Structure 1
Amino acid sequence: DLVASKSKDLSREISAILSAPGPGPEEVVMLLNSPGGSVTGYGLAAAQLLRLRQRDPPVRLTVCVDELAASGGYLMACCADKILCSPFAAVGSIGVIAQIPNAAKRLEREGLDFIQTTAGKWKRTVTPFKVPSKEDLAKQKEDIGAVYKAFASFVKDNRPGVEIEEVATGEVWYGADALTRKLVDELKTSAQYLLERIDSGAEVFSVRFKQPSETRAGLLPAGASSALLEALLARQSGQQQSAGVMGGLQDLIQRLAPQGLGGRTSPMLRAPSEQLAPQMLAEGFGEEVERMDPG
């Protein structure tokens, strides 16, 4: 969404994956579908993903884009060691936009005055309530340019093979064109990739948090009932017995339990177009941990 509201959940999920007992997963596969949104929200989400690669030893991150990874969505995607996209997935939109309606003339016609008091020359530039000066517009353009520069630099650092001047234009490319421009590494759907990992002998688990029942949701702090983990962990078979893996995943779920009781223009990275008892937690979410097998 626009503000990357799941970034707090993502932080908790990444922390749980990194602190899982034993050797931990060798790979995390993220299924990404996002048009982007706020700079701060998607920047934080990207930083959370980088924690996987920054661990010693690192956890390999693969991002699968079946439909859309644009602007802030691509900011997240480029954190991956490998990016896969389906043939018609939309990828790119490396750019920044800021827009706001202006009602100054309407207020003037209605005889309404807008009084604004600030301290600091650039505390407020473009607002809905006054006609912006050329100086105001120039300052906003400068601010957006700084965000754009940081965005393009981040992509270049994480995707050194791309010609950043060619792709950081705000354009969106589909499938093969995105591959040609090295925005992605391979054309493949998430289902194809996961089946390949299973066929190669990897143990692949889907870990998902479902919506708790109303009774259990009432025991959670505000917002916790919507927490969702869509992480796919691949571990080469033979590294650990299946029972041990399931035990580790159960521990992972417990770590993800919530802890404790229960008008300025912002630039956007956006595409243009209480503690639960462990047994209750297991009852509420345990069935969502399952091995993924072919067929």
Structure 2
Amino acid sequence: MIITINLRGTIGENTFAGIKSQLDASLRNKNVKGVILDINSGGGSASASELIYEAVSHLNENKPVFSVVTGTAASGAYMIACATRKIYSIHTGLIGSVGVISMSPDVSELLDKIGVKVNVLSKGREKASMNPFQKSTEEDLLRQNVILSEIYDFFMTIVKERRHLSDEQASEVGNSGIYAAKEAEKLNLIDQVDSYGKIIESIKNELGEKSDPVVMKRKIPFLLRFAMKFLGQ
């Protein structure tokens, strides 16, 4: 039996909880020969992406895991794909965005115009460094850049090592660009581009499985299922 686990939308804490439970169930089930991670996500939380990456890596050490990009595999979602044995994509897939971004609003000038003042009390020199009600200092921005650089280097190390990229390839993909499937294949970000049906057949043949993959759905908690039944949902 082959299990398909869907990775959809913005990656966050809830994503990790759902994916982890499905990965663990696949590992425990002796009938599961392999797992397909069906990806359509633009990324999200760096920490949640790292946790899912580690969980997928653990499963892949015990049972083959394959990524199939059916839409987008960008940023943290691509990091997770790198944990799998092979990365496939349909022809219209979008892959990459190997980078990190941090955004914080600055409404200080707007508050000045409308005559609003905000009193901020904090302990610790850098505690209020991302306070949206005051302009970030050059020191604040430098500190944030150091943090982002560390996360970026971690991401790039994963991509370079898991995808066996040359220095030239790593330099290209490290600019945070996003690539169409064929270009991503040329850069060795993915292994193969094909139609969804042919990709599934390739995975089935590799695993020696004749049956089509079974989609694993996230289990709904008992109390929620009870409430839905009570309400006729």
| TM score, norm. by length of structure 1 | 0.66
The match for 1:252 is none
Alpha carbons of structure 1 residues 126 and 82: separation in structure 2 relative to 1, 3 Å: same
CA distance, structure 2, for counterparts of residue 173 and residue 6 of structure 1: 25
CA distance, structure 2, for counterparts of residue 133 and residue 196 of structure 1: 54
Higher helix content, 1 or 2: 2
Alpha carbons of structure 1 residues 210 and 103: separation in structure 2 relative to 1, 3 Å: closer
- Asked if 1:206 corresponds to 2:206, the answer is no
Number of matched residues? 214
The match for 1:253 is none
- Asked if 1:15 corresponds to 2:24, the answer is yes
Q: Letter of the 1:125 partner, please give it.
A: S
Alpha carbons of structure 1 residues 72 and 113: separation in structure 2 relative to 1, 3 Å: same
- After superposition, the CA RMSD in angstroms is 2.4
Alpha carbons of structure 1 residues 192 and 43: separation in structure 2 relative to 1, 3 Å: same
The match for 1:139 is 143
CA distance, structure 2, for counterparts of residue 18 and residue 76 of structure 1: 17
Q: Within 5 Å, which residues of 2 pair with 1:1-295?
A: 1-4=9-12, 5-21=14-30, 24-54=31-61, 58-161=62-165, 163-198=169-204, 202-204=209-211, 205-209=213-217, 217-219=224-226
CA distance, structure 1, for counterparts of residue 91 and residue 60 of structure 2: 27
Alpha carbons of structure 1 residues 124 and 152: separation in structure 2 relative to 1, 3 Å: farther
CA distance, structure 2, for counterparts of residue 199 and residue 151 of structure 1: 32
What do residues 67-91 of structure 1 show as CA deviations (whole Å, max 9, x unaligned)?
2101111011111110011222110
Indicate conservation of the 8 Å contact 1:61/1:80, yes or no.
yes
Question: Unpaired segments of 5 or more residues in structure 2?
Answer: 1-8, 229-233
Indicate conservation of the 8 Å contact 2:11/2:41, yes or no.
no
Q: Letter of the 1:38 partner, please give it.
A: S
Per-residue deviation, 1:9: 1.0
CA distance, structure 2, for counterparts of residue 13 and residue 218 of structure 1: 18
Tell me the secondary structure at the aligned position of residue 37 of structure 2: strand
Identity of aligned residues (%): 22
The structure number with the bigger radius of gyration is 1
What do residues 170-201 of structure 1 show as CA deviations (whole Å, max 9, x unaligned)?
10111211011000011123321223455675
Q: Letter of the 1:47 partner, please give it.
A: E
The match for 1:275 is none
CA distance, structure 1, for counterparts of residue 103 and residue 41 of structure 2: 20
Question: Unpaired segments of 5 or more residues in structure 1?
Answer: 226-295
Alpha carbons of structure 1 residues 208 and 13: separation in structure 2 relative to 1, 3 Å: closer
CA distance, structure 1, for counterparts of residue 41 and residue 70 of structure 2: 10
Indicate conservation of the 8 Å contact 2:11/2:76, yes or no.
no
Indicate conservation of the 8 Å contact 1:65/1:189, yes or no.
no
Q: Letter of the 2:25 partner, please give it.
A: A
CA distance, structure 2, for counterparts of residue 178 and residue 44 of structure 1: 25
| TM score, norm. by length of structure 2 | 0.82
Tell me the secondary structure at the aligned position of residue 65 of structure 1: strand
Indicate conservation of the 8 Å contact 2:41/2:73, yes or no.
yes
Q: Letter of the 2:178 partner, please give it.
A: V
Indicate conservation of the 8 Å contact 1:31/1:190, yes or no.
no
Alpha carbons of structure 1 residues 193 and 74: separation in structure 2 relative to 1, 3 Å: same
